[in-house]
Amino acid sequence: DATSHLLRRTYRALGEVMLSIADESNRLQALIDAAWKQFFTTPLYRAYIELLAESQRDAALAEALRSMFQRGRGLFEPAVSHYFEPVPGAKVDINGLFLQLISFLGGLAAQAHLLDEKEHIQPQIKLWLKQSALLMQAKKGVRAAPPKPETWDR
């Protein structure tokens, strides 16, 4: 279906970005920049925001979006664990931090038409990066793609 195609396309595009960054210390910044530009600033994401608003009044739509979100989590969580880990001593759920990131970027995207990219959006993203650097880091030496999601064989 169209949702699966979109999720696969996004997964592959972000994976290509991750593998293209030789310096692990830049991986999170590169991932966020790519996600922002290739997903959160697109007309397709703006349409998703409209669907989210409508889903508050439409139970069937809400269930369809909930299902899409769950499929996306199932697809991306193994990749997050493949590329990232807590910094030594941090007791943090890496996937939880990435869910927070998605919510954060989604909120910025929903308000992007009201906000200046350079004065508001980019400083907020940089602040999130500084905060997250206290808790997580890119794994060293990861040069291979994560295992292909099991659902792609179905």
pLDDT (0 to 100) of residue 2: 64
Could you report the per-residue pLDDT of 41-51, keeping only the tens digit for each? Answer: 988 889 889 99
Separation of alpha carbons 23 and 3, rounded Å: 32
Q: What mean pLDDT is predicted for residues 25-35?
A: 83
Q: What is the DSSP letter of 120?
A: I
User: Residue 117, SS3?
Assistant: helix
Q: Could you tell me what percent of the chain has a pLDDT over 70? A: 91
Report pTM: 0.84
Task: Render pLDDT for 106-137 as a digit per residue (tens, 0 to 9).
Answer: 999 999 999 999 999 999 999 999 999 999 99
Q: Of 75, 98, 72, nearest to 86 (Cα)?
A: 98
- pLDDT (tens digit, 9 = 90+) per residue, 61-114? 999 999 988 888 888 888 888 889 999 999 999 999 999 999 999 999 999 999
